[in-house]
Structure formats: structure tokens, C-alpha cells
Amino acid sequence: MRSLLFIPADSEKKITKALSFEADCLLLDLEDSVVPARKAAARPMAAAFIAETRDKSLRPKLFVRINALDTSEWELDLAGVLGARPDGILLPKARSADDVGQLAVALDHAEAKAGIALGSTRILALITEVPVAMLTLPTYLEASARLDGLTWGAEDLSAQMGSSATREADGRFTPPYQLARDMCLFTAVAAGRQPIDTVYVDFRNTAGLAEEARIAARDGFTGKMAIHPEQVAYINAAFTPTTAEIGWANDIAALFRDNPNSGALSLRGQMIDRPHLIRAERILARAKLAGV
């Protein structure tokens, strides 16, 4: 999933247009973008959209962002949408892998009740939105097998921290939020899950978005969340390997195929070893998934 676009689940207008946005994943939101008085109405709208589009060819993945586990809403969210068989659940404000485990158990019961194959509903966890979460990141190394990816957020965290800003004047994250970003990346990769970068809230600044997405892809993130449809194309471009990258990766792979017993080789005057092969294989895998 390169691009993951938030769609307010109570907005019929935005839901109707959602399939035209070319995001790899739509995040049907029952949490922050839906006011409490609208949550009951949003659940059947999300479920209907999921059910109606399930059999469409080339449909994006559909995840539902439920409310946090310390609220009274999240169980109602699951009951309202799981029968429609979403691809996954976005868990906000996760405090540790224990929250992922709690959600996984609830999904076991909900899938059994709905007649859905056990384990088919995946989990994406937002792991930096509360301060204590920054102290429990290693727990995700042993998280539920349902866990597909980890992502992070600065806005909710900054509210609890009392920060007056999350970014410097030039757009870079301030040190506490740069730490949250970097630790999400390290934790996801160490756990063997997809690392997904946070949203870029200045949605009219497409140049800033493109640069931040480029840097995220450079550093090892494999996707980025979006809050506006116009952000999707820039994100998809940043996380799709270029022709030059694919060519380099193919050359590396071919070199090691032709020399299977070599630990280090030379390509265009540079020493190439196993870490280069691993990087090349990751590029080729991403290119295949992106259809390039």
C-alpha cells in the first residue's frame, strides 16, 4: 500500500467519489473526522460501501479506522462494519502490542459470528499517538499475526504533550516528532511489517508533500497516508520505483544469479555485496506490486 487515503465514513459525497481517487487503500474513518452524533449513521454507510464494492475489479483495499480502545465506540464500530468484510482495521491511539492483541481477539469473535475466514481481517496500528506508546514500541516485535503495518501520527501526540508546534519553520519535524517518525520506521522494519509515513496536513502545498514523500521513501517507508485526494498521485509517484532504480536492481539480481557463490562483486566500478542484493530484491518486489 503506497497511498492510504482517509475518507470520512459519514460523507456520502466523498464515499461516492472514493473509487476514482486511485489510492491503494481507502481508510474509511469512524474516528476523528466523524463527530459523536454522526458515528451511528457512519457505520452502516461504511459497511454498505464495503459490501457494494467488494467484487469490483481493481478495487483499492478498504480499511476502517475505528475509535480508540479506551472509548465505548470501538466495539460498536466492529459490530457495524465487520459483516461487510473490510480488508482491515486501522487501530488508532495504540498504547502497545497489547492493544493489537485485544483487537485481534475481538476480530476472532466477530469473524466467527459473521462467517468470515479466521484471520482475514488485517490490522494497521497507529503507534505514536499517546505518550506512553513511545515507551512500548519493542512490544510490536511479538504482535499479532494479523498486523500488516505500523504508522505514526504527530497531531494527537502533540495535543497530549502540550507542544505548540510539531514542525520547524522550514517544514521539518521538531525533535520529539522526528523521533516518533524514526522509531516507527525502525519498529516496523524490525517487526517485519510495512512502515507507513504519517499525513502531510498542509494539503495545498503539493511541493512540500512531494518532497516529504520522497524523503520517506528514501529512508525506508513504503507508503504514506493522505488526507486529500490530490495528494494521492504525488504519494504513489514517490513510492513507485523509478526506471533507473528498477534497472539497477535488475542488474544486481542478475549479477548474483550469475555468481551464486560470491559474497562480494563489482558492478560499474563499485563493490556490491549481500545488502545491495536485499535492497535490489525489495525494489523489484515493490515494482511488481505497483505494476511497473
Q: What angle do CA 168, 173, 179 make, to 5 degrees?
A: 140
Q: What percentage of the chain carries pLDDT values higher than 70?
A: 100
pLDDT at residue 237 greater than cutoff 90: yes
Mean pLDDT of the chain: 94
pLDDT in tens, 64-85: 999 999 999 999 999 999 999 9
Q: Residue 255: its pLDDT value, please?
A: 87
Q: Residue 268: its pLDDT value, please?
A: 85
Q: Residue 274: its pLDDT value, please?
A: 86
For residue 125, list its beta bridge partners: 91, 150
User: What's the mean pLDDT in 209-227?
Assistant: 97
Distance of alpha carbon 108 from alpha carbon 116, whole angstroms:
9
pLDDT at residue 239 greater than cutoff 90: yes
29 pLDDT band, cuts 50/70/90, is very high
Query: What are phi and psi for residue 126, nearest 5 degrees?
Result: -90, 110
Q: What is the residue-wise DSSP string for 63-100?
A: EEE---TTSSSHHHHHHHHGGG--SEEEE-S--SHHHH
Q: Residue 117: its pLDDT value, please?
A: 94
pLDDT in tens, 118-142: 999 999 999 999 999 999 999 999 9
Task: With H, G, I as helix, E, B as strand and everything else as coil, classify residue 123.
Answer: strand
pLDDT at residue 40 greater than cutoff 90: yes
179: Cβ–Cβ under 8 A, 6 or more apart, which residues? 134
pLDDT at residue 58 greater than cutoff 80: no
246 touches 283 (CB < 8 A): yes
pLDDT at residue 11 greater than cutoff 90: yes
Q: List the grid coordinates of 18.
A: 472514493
Write down how long the chain is.
Answer: 292
pLDDT in tens, 248-292: 888 888 888 888 888 888 888 888 888 888 888 888 888 888 778
Burial 99-129 (b: 16+ CB within 10 A, else e): bbbebbebbeebbeeeebeeeebbbbbbbbb
Q: Residue 37: its pLDDT value, please?
A: 95
User: What's the mean pLDDT in 183-201?
Assistant: 97
Q: Residue 258: its pLDDT value, please?
A: 87
Compute how many other C-beta atoms are within 10 angstroms of the C-beta atom of residue 196. 28
260 burial (CB, 10 Å; 0-12 / 13-18 / 19+) is: exposed
pLDDT at residue 242 greater than cutoff 90: no
Q: Residue 135: its pLDDT value, please?
A: 98
This prediction has a pTM of: 0.91
| Residue 3 host element (H or E) | strand 3-8
All structural domains of the chain, each given as residue ranges with its CATH number in brackets, are 3-238 (3.20.20.60), 243-290 (no CATH)
Which of the 8 DSSP states describes residue 174? P
Distance of alpha carbon 123 from alpha carbon 57, whole angstroms:
23
Closest Cα partner for 200 from 232, 236, 164, 226? Answer: 226
In order of 93, 151, 155, 162, 261, the CA distances from 131 in angstroms are 10, 15, 12, 11, 48
